[in-house]
Amino acid sequence: MDLRLTPEELAFRAEVRAFFDESIPQDIRAKLTEGRHPDKADMVRWQKILHARGWSVPHWPVEWGGTGWDAVKLYIFRDEMQRTPAPEPLPFGVSMVGPVIYTFGSQEQKTRFLPRIASMDDWWCQGFSEPGAGSDLAGLKTTARRDGDHYVINGQKTWTTLAQYADWIFVLARTSPEAKKQEGISFLLVDMKTPGITVRPIQTIDGGHEVNETFFDDVRVPVENLVGVENRGWDYAKFLLGNERTGIARIGITKARLRRVRELAALEQGGGRLIDSARFRQKLAAVEVELKALEMTQLRVVAGEARRERGKPDPASSVLKIRGSELQQSVSELLLEVAGPYALPYRDEHDPEGWNEPAIGPDWAAMLAPNYFNLRKVSIYGGSNEIQRSIISKAILGL
């Protein structure tokens, strides 16, 4: 298999790279380079720039705003976006519920929701995991009882990322308690302004507020907000998670962070440069080799997408998810090593709610420890790496 880019693909990469270099607002680029998170306004502003260019949902069908690019061009586009770096469009709408709606939803749902996801007029969040149903997602307890022309939802979701901003949430709920656990689940679209929804923040180990608990108390959802067929939601969730796991590899972002490692390691600190250490260069090279191998794997997956049945997840996405998340964590460890003691965060006793910059040291070191802590979670979300290994053993190795 020849994985080299053709002249046409190389020209396309140059076009995409030029657009990102010229169009990403500098304040947003600076945040990402320094390891800070873009806020809601940043993400909306950038997605509207992409939408004006016709590139906010490039992987969607053309009739709903897609570009018609093949799998290789879509890969190049994502890789260049991450390399810039630029914020990726909010995945809960663009990469998760959007594809579920245009693949399995009704025509009315497509017309109502897809244009507003593409333009980011609606902010979506995900209602899957529960306190007792994370890796064993099919064990969820949240229920949706049919009552006339509504479903009544009761239960709790956790790790609801960015729910504090959301207009809508897509929810997995049990609609048939008597069925096998995978066969009695439905996929519902819920307006976050519906009475009975409560969102409570969870402060993460890096000091941030990214995730939440979401409670549903007799929340009434119109029947027309059911996606597809009742009790078939597990099939739609598997399709969604397959898309999510491929994106979690985030190879372009890891490339950009490795570039940052080299830049910072070349700075003079304490009378020397870390890049001059043979041991450090050995560790850096090992991560670069692993990343190149992962990139080749992703290109093989991309090359096979045209032959894959529509709506059927590729089990190879589990390989990308495992190694991609592990390499993100490895690079965060290299960045901590570059910063040394300057990476140590501290809390001001007079400012208990927020992280502060280190008392001494360069400004660029301030966010390295919080980012390191935040990236501990990537081996869990999208289905834990242990679950992904089980998928690989069954679907790929046939064990």
d(CA 172, CA 155): 11
Q: What angle do CA 166, 202, 326 make, to 5 degrees?
A: 90
What is the greatest pairwise CA distance in the chain?
Answer: 74
Phi-psi sector, 292: left (phi>0), alpha (psi -120 to 50), beta: alpha
Among positive and negative, which fits the CA dihedral 178, 184, 188, 193?
A: positive
Pairing of strands 185-191, 143-147: unpaired
In a 10 Å sphere around its CB, with 0-12 CB exposed, 13-18 middle and 19+ buried, how is residue 205 labelled?
Answer: exposed
d(CA 2, CA 163): 43
Are the CB atoms for 380 and 243 separated by under 8 Å? no
* Residue of 88, 210, 230, 244 marked catalytic: 244
Q: Which amino acid is at 169?
A: I
CA torsion angle 45 48 53 58 (round to 10): 110
| R_g of the chain, CA atoms, integer Å | 22
Nearest to 50 by CA among 69, 70, 73, 66: 66
Neighbour tally for 198: CB within 10 Å = 12
Is 130 tagged catalytic?
Answer: no
Residue 274 in tokens: 């870390």
Residue 273 in tokens: 């440069």
d(CA 135, CA 112): 32
Among positive and negative, which fits the CA dihedral 308, 311, 312, 316?
A: positive
Active-site annotation, residues: 244
